[in-house]
Amino acid sequence: MKSYLVTMMLLSVAVLAWSPDASAQEQETERTRLGQTGMKFLSVSVHARAAAMADAMTAQEASSIAMFYNPASMAEMSNDFDVALGKTEWLAGTSYNAASAAYRPLSGRYGTFGISVVAVDYGEHFLETIRADNEQGFIDLGQYSPSAMSVGLGYARALTDRFAVGANLKYVSQSLGEATMSVDTDGNRETSDFSVNTMAVDFGVLFRTGIRSLNFALSARNFSRELTYAEENFELPLTFSMGISADLFNLSGFSSTMHALNMAVEASRPRDFSEQVKLGMEYTFMNLLSLRAGYLFPSDEQGINLGAGLNTDVSGISLGIDYAYSQFGIFGDVSRVALQFGF
């Protein structure tokens, strides 16, 4: 009964958060602050399965990758040990490398423990210059490479057969490198380090409604203190999400071990963008082949998302590979690939 009361309280808070009346006084401020958060790498989807379904993952029962979306879902993973590796070829030559691992001792009696890592490679195409009173008007100082990273420790536990909670504590950092502030007549540089780091928290709840396979979930990602770059303050891309998911075949009463049609619908409220609705579909045949599609709106450039996955068991070890393709309009296309194994 306590778990149900907690769920209803969280649901009430979520409804108030989305209520136009509750946010009417803030709407003008929100309009002027679109795109004003920092460390936006925390908002990029890093797993192929999730990206193919437009990131409608909050109410999905997942494995270690749940730490990137809703850590509570990790409590419902099917294996006692799980590892996932992902690579995203992002925009403008940027790439994301992600890894996650989770372990539930004694089949989850003490919950599920996890670790996650995201590292961003921005490439070598950034040119550093400084203003100078010469013919060119500047001095070419070569190239520099920004970097960003997130390392998280997650925990999830099923409090009942229907209700699970989870959290992810992560250390996040981003560096724009050492910038040259001035150069004296001897060529000596005065530099300043432009890097920042902080601790952030993700948390969520997952509720199995008991209506066949219908799930309901809430999550909040990137809670943190306000940070400062030089003289400017900024906040992390805090995002609240509320979603439902279900196997439509199971929900309709059609029982099949050969087919599954998973649907997820999610409402997301980012700090630095308009509210978004995410729709994801996943058809699975014989627990072997999965075909996926997803769409979110509104969006400036992101279009349709498509993907596929293969899963198999080898000597008691489950193996999986996933691929996702996303359209980003004038920025080009984005590809993601992921590998996963568990036992």
Q: What is the pLDDT along the chain (343 residues), one digit of tens a residue?
A: 444 444 444 444 444 344 444 344 444 444 555 667 889 999 999 999 999 999 999 999 989 999 999 999 999 898 999 999 999 999 888 999 999 999 999 888 899 999 999 999 987 777 777 777 777 777 777 777 888 999 999 999 999 999 999 999 999 999 887 776 666 666 677 777 778 999 999 999 999 999 989 999 999 999 999 988 777 888 999 999 999 999 998 888 777 778 999 999 999 999 988 899 999 999 999 999 999 999 999 988 899 999 999 999 988 899 999 999 999 989 999 999 999 999 9
Residue 36 has what pLDDT?
75
Predicted local confidence at residue 339, as pLDDT: 97
Sorted by sequence, the CB contacts under 8 Å of residue 297 that are 6+ apart come out as 276, 277
Interatomic CA distance for residues 292 and 72, integer angstroms: 23
Alpha-carbon span 60 to 247, nearest angstrom:
10
pLDDT for residue 12: 41
Which helix (H) or strand (E) covers residue 181, if one does? strand 163-183
CB-based contact 309:289 (threshold 8 Å): yes
The pTM assigned to this predicted structure is 0.84
CB atoms within 10 A of CB 114: 26
pLDDT of residue 26: 43
Residue among 17, 42, 2, 11 nearest 240 (CA): 17
Hey, what are 85's tokens? 């590796």
| Closest to 42 measured CA to CA, from 241, 298, 236 | 236
73 within 8 A of 166, measured Cβ to Cβ: yes
The span from the CA of 341 to the CA of 81, in Å, is 8
Structure tokens at 150: 């997130």
Distant-in-sequence, close-in-space partners of 34: CB < 8 Å, separation ≥ 6: 272, 273, 274
292 SS3 class? strand
Complete domains list, the chain, with CATH: 2-15+36-127+140-176+201-342 (2.40.160.60)
Burial of 112 (0-12, 13-18, 19+ CB in 10 A): buried
- The backbone torsions φ and ψ at residue 17, rounded to the nearest 5 degrees and listed phi first, read -65, -35
Phi then psi dihedrals of residue 76, to 5 deg:
-105, 15
Phi, psi of 209 (to 5 degrees): -70, -20
